[in-house]
Structure 1
Amino acid sequence: MKIQKEIIDFEKGKSFKLFSPSLKDCFFWHYHPEIELVYVEAINGIRHIGKDISGFTNSDLLLIGSNVPHLNFDYKIQTECRQMVLQMRENFLQDIIDPVPEFDDIRHLLERSYLGLSFSGDTKRIVVEKMHSLMTTGNFDSLIGLIEILQILANSNEVKELNNEDTRIKWFLNDKIRMGTIYDYIHENYDKKNECQSHCSNSKPEYCGFLPVF
């Protein structure tokens, strides 16, 4: 259950990487200094970002800030699961966004991403389409495409903050004992998600009595 620092390698000449991982059998509780945009598609699953542990159905689009601990979203999902993960270089905010005043909305978005942001509705649909298109574009066009994605997210009101306080790794290191209890619970009870799914209300699938409240 030990938290791991993920070391991310980038291709030379690229400010971000976009790939589709598969780690279903791995409990990968980890953090990294790079800001990450994740799209996951599955019948149902559990997201664990910072202190938030909650369920999702069908799909989720998440922006995870620098050094925020999170679990891989496909952990123990036995049905079909597809993911796209976009990771920005550690200095992306400071070197590319901060110096440009026209990017103020994006800067604010990335600065509050430490809370863990979940996007829904048309925002999710449009951004996922654009993420797919990044797979086949050249370096310059893909960077412009990423800026467009971030601008859409920055201007969206279809967003939910998953945490209401700072959950970056510094907080985690000061709360090891309590978080260890949470890890054990997740690992021992993750298979109950299917049972959980059958008990959840279709109108509010994110609320579930089978998930712990800490």
Structure 2
Amino acid sequence: MKIEYEIVKPDKGSSFRLLHHKMVRESDFVWQFHYHPEYEIVFVPQGSGTRHVGNHLSTYHQGDLVLIGSNLPHSGFGLNSSGLHEEMVLQVKPEFIPLHFAEMNQVESLLDRARYGISFYGTTRDHVGDIMAAMVHQPPFQRMIRLLEILEKLAGSEEYTILNSSIVSPALLSKHKARLQKVFSYVEKEYAGEVQVQKAAALVGLSVPSFCNFFKKTTQITFSDFVNQYRIQKSCMLLHQDKSISEICFECGFNNVTYFNRLFKQIMNETPSAFKKKIGSLGEVA
């Protein structure tokens, strides 16, 4: 797992970027965190996958719509997707959005909430998804009008869920990137076995108490919770394969199936068997 700063360049003749991807899920999809100053709106028309925004980790089924705030770290939404994956992504620089107008008060409140990541559902997701799909085929000026329409619809919607309770600081992530990368690489290499906080602390030249404080302050999550999230993320990938729940449990570094099931449900809001069943049925449809 890596944390990367992404440089976003607007489309030619436009003040923002619109991406449209269609791909078949690859089993070796890289779990890569990235961040950028631009606000990002991600629409997945259909299918399933994992949303990883800030420290929030959960699955989506039959499509998704998420607003990601400026500099909020996140992974690509193709993670753990099944079959054909399609997504549309709008990336907009903060200075492009005219918040100084009185008419934008609701939008300003929306963007303030976006710092935590927001998932939209229901008719809001459907309406905004239709607008984004139409934007793919429109010229720059029409896209700009549509973008303002999207912001207005999201700002007035009550069909949403806030994804994080606290904010991951990109400034701290950047400042301590080298240290964190050593820790992440260690967990990535050893997650199937015994991950020891003493070894992680030694890698960055800190005592265990100092390391635990440093990691929690920088990432807004404890080291043990991070390891558990990483293992659960790996288990999601393996659940696409023809393996039993117990096999996956032990391959991901857990030594108790009951605990694995309980932790998986706590993090992903469904059991491993329910997750496996859903991705299987969606794969058949695809």
TM-score tier (shorter): 0.7 to 0.9
1:147 & 1:193 partners in 2: Cα distance? 40
2:9 & 2:41 partners in 1: Cα distance? 16
Task: Name the counterpart of 1:181.
Answer: 227
Do the aligned partners of 2:32 and 2:76 also contact (CA within 8 Å) in 1? yes
Change (3 A) 1:209 1:133: same
Task: Name the counterpart of 1:208.
Answer: 270
1:74 & 1:100 partners in 2: Cα distance? 36
- Between structure 1 and structure 2, the one with the greater Rg is 2
2:82 & 2:125 partners in 1: Cα distance? 24
What's the CA shift string for 1:73-95, capped at 9, x where partnerless? 11243411110001002422xxx
Identity fraction in percent: 32
Task: Name the counterpart of 1:15.
Answer: 15
2:70 & 2:147 partners in 1: Cα distance? 17
Give 1:58's match in structure 2, choosing from 56, 62, 78.
Answer: 62
What's the CA shift string for 1:84-127, capped at 9, x where partnerless? 001002422xxx32221111111111121011100111111110
Q: Which residues of 2 match residues 52-131 of structure 1 at below 5 A?
A: 52-92=56-96, 96-131=97-132
Change (3 A) 1:19 1:138: same
Do the aligned partners of 2:51 and 2:79 also contact (CA within 8 Å) in 1? no
More deviation, 36-45/152-161: 36-45
Do the aligned partners of 1:118 and 1:162 also contact (CA within 8 Å) in 2? yes
- Gap runs ≥5 in structure 2: 177-217, 246-260, 262-267, 273-286
1:182 shift after superposition? 5.5
Task: Name the counterpart of 2:150.
Answer: 149
How big is the alpha-carbon RMSD for the aligned residues of Structure 1 and Structure 2? 2.6
- Gap runs ≥5 in structure 1: 200-205
2:30 & 2:17 partners in 1: Cα distance? 22
1:160 & 1:180 partners in 2: Cα distance? 22
Change (3 A) 1:51 1:185: same
What's the CA shift string for 1:171-213, capped at 9, x where partnerless? 65513873863663255323245589xx9xxxxxx62244xxx
- TM-score (ref. length: structure 2): 0.62
- Greater share of residues in helix: 2
- Greater share of residues in strand: 1
Task: Name the counterpart of 1:190.
Answer: 236
1:17 alignment partner, SS class: strand
- Number of paired residues? 199
Do the aligned partners of 1:35 and 1:87 also contact (CA within 8 Å) in 2? yes
Do the aligned partners of 1:114 and 1:168 also contact (CA within 8 Å) in 2? no
What's the CA shift string for 1:144-174, capped at 9, x where partnerless? 1110110000000001101112224246551
- TM-score (ref. length: structure 1): 0.82
What's the CA shift string for 1:34-67, capped at 9, x where partnerless? 1000012443211110111111111110000011
1:15 shift after superposition? 1.7
1:110 alignment partner, SS class: helix
Do the aligned partners of 2:20 and 2:136 also contact (CA within 8 Å) in 1? no
Do the aligned partners of 1:97 and 1:107 also contact (CA within 8 Å) in 2? no
1:106 alignment partner, SS class: helix
With CA pairs under 8 Å and 6+ residues apart, which has the higher RCO, 1 or 2? Answer: 1
1:81 alignment partner, SS class: strand
The letter for the 1-side match of 2:116 is L
Change (3 A) 1:16 1:85: same
